[in-house]
Structure 1
Amino acid sequence: MTDPASFLRSLFDRAVEVADPMQSLKDALPPRPEGRLVVIGAGKASARMAEAVEAEYGPCEGLVITRYGYARPCQGIEIVEAAHPVPDEAGEAATKRMLGLVDSLGEDDFVLALISGGGSALLSAPAGNITLEEKQALTQALLASGAPIGDINGIRKQISAVKGGNLAARVHPAKMLALMISDVPGDNPSDIASGPTVGHEDDAGRAVETLKNWGVTPPQSIADYLASGVETVRPDDPRLANVENVIYAAPSQSLAAAAEVAQAAGVEARILGDALEGEAREVAAEHAALAREVQAGLSEGDAPVVLLSGGELTVTRTGDGVGGPNAEYSLALALALDGAAGIDAIACDTDGVDGAAEVAGAIIGPGTLAKATEVGRDAVAALVNNDAHGFFGDLGDQVVPGPTLTNVNDFRAILCRYVG
């Protein structure tokens, strides 16, 4: 293993490649439906999914919303770019147009919905009298609170006219097939993009309790709306009778593909799980201890071991630096390993965006802390200030793939080699 960094990057690249809709969506598509077909969608992968659909079906009618920079050329489907992770006016306007489009459909029509991570921000239609500005403020507060994505999306469902099954209800009486790429721990369809095509059992009381648990005070209009009694689209809602939800790509598939690459290179792959959650720096400390334990069990001549994991970690922001869960995990891991020889790691978001920065994550190795000293960076101070992206940017150890056009969440790999 002469180049651990390149090896780790190859695992990440393979994890992304296997989740590329142009590679994976074809087998999930049914024959093109007879009659009127309307394609809608939202998420960081949705434009690429639309491109893949038209590669099979030819030109289609429809509207898909994706993140700025993630558009793809389509023959008939309109692609609109909007903001993520905090919604903006472009997303709100496109969502209203999408709802107008599906409201015109009848029972003989068919809707193909393309849903992926990021759709929660991109599909923006605040319920009641809630304004976009108030929703933006709540989103920013939730993202800074350290709340897991399931809790955040549970709140989003309660204050939206499109999430939590509301989009599917608007499609009725047309038939709908929703094809999804999962980016959530546990692969619950109701959590992907806050479940616009999936009914749920959550209620406003739970949302209020979740806000309280994470110390988030919502704008008054949102508090009033939650207190007024929110109508929930339940799984048994008759308007969902003609809706089918299918997850066709998930984090487990990407981890398995990366494991195959490792094994082909003579490295033993151990998958820790595809649904890990928790504070990034705390999980990093646990993984550092595990990596040391694995390495201590190796003998001369043993194959290296790579520890693979996925899921979605969180960061409770207390500083004003530029960071994200994967970069913060990498920084905390480097500190916990403290230059341990023979252990290298990568942590990246498969969508190419870690937090709000256009950076997927970072690679670390035994020389990371020494390198930081050479360039005048204090690793501990960077962690305290939530400035992991700034830290790795100064070291030149960021992973910047650009838009990957897919999203199966975090990818982490720790390579452990015998050191005599």
Structure 2
Amino acid sequence: MSDTLTRTEAARVSVARGSRLRRWSRRRPVRRALVLTHRWTSLVLGLFLVIETTTGTILLYRAEYFRATHAQLYQHTDSATPIGLSQARDIVRQAHPDFAAAWVSNDAGVIAVGDPAFSHVYAVDPGTGHINGYAGIDDGFMGLMANIHDCALTCPTETGYVAWLATPVFGQPLGGIVLIVLGLLMVLLAITGLITWWPGIRRMSHGLRVRLRRGRFARDYDLHNVIGLVAVPFVLMWGVTGAAFELPAVANAWLAITGGTSVDPDRFTFTPNQSPTGDVGLDQAVSVALQHHPGDIRYVSLPTDDAAYYGVSISGSYAPYNARAFFGGDVFVYVDAHDAGHVSVVDGSEARPLANTFYEKVFEPAHFGWLVNGWWRIIWVVLGLTPLALMITGLSTWLYRAGTRRRRRARA
């Protein structure tokens, strides 16, 4: 009886093993294709991805860098009666009549008055009304980093502009297409890397270990897996949002997958009245905006001949863009320059799916690290350098395998 039971159990084990082998054989081509896709995408375009993520890591502290290197602009005096935005604009206009003031901003204790190209500013001390100085926003090292990361060298006002990269292709600048491709490749690498890493529930501990004493290949292979696993959420976020900045369809696809609705492309469009009267003025426009949404005024765009309205950006109780220099604020209020009763508020407070709110209030600002202070942004720095670590460890394991194959062929 005991012998019969043993044979039965052996037969069951044999059948189970055969079933697992058949399932694995069916899955193996797909898994191999994913491995090859992950590997060759990393090898061919890894350097471009590393450049993109490394420049983005540097730009995490762009605001702090600008303020530190332009300390004279930010000298301000405490006063019981500081001047307001309109007074600062008028002071700059009187002192520099050739300067076209297009926007004003409260930034780190001073009032900035900027030009239509958003490239140069005058800084005014609100306590004394003194003009501290004039500076370019996009000049120098950080301007070059921003042009590489944000525009693929196609922003003409920033350092490093390359004209041929701005050549239109399929309705997009060539540099913009490069950024879209890099963003989508980051998403692809995150998904294929996670799938190829998955060791199964029973072997989960093997996927999280680092064998430091088993040789170079084992060490770098394990480091690549563990670093990649930790970085997956950030790589996915950077890839989706980075591509969406150039191609909004990517954001809509993400929202559709996560249960949201497509973003209204016209939500930042405002049409002023067709029968203009006198200008309501900057002070009244700001007052009206605060009535519709209380908070701190961060930035105001001034009316032009083509856009006769004020755009008022306000930091509310939760301000995920608050760490941004000059152009912070998370609530946008449009005020007709000739009719203070004609207002539009774009703040995301209207009823809509949670996925949309999460994308606009957390997912997108997380791309820049603006929703946290400088200390917490160190986490972004560490994770922003993970593509460089992944490239080094991935290249190391690939070279090791290639060398092993060459030695085997030589022996054969």
TM-score (norm 1): 0.26
Which structure has the highest helix share of the two?
A: 2
Q: Give the number of the structure whose alpha-carbon radius of gyration is greater.
A: 2
Which structure has the highest strand share of the two?
A: 1
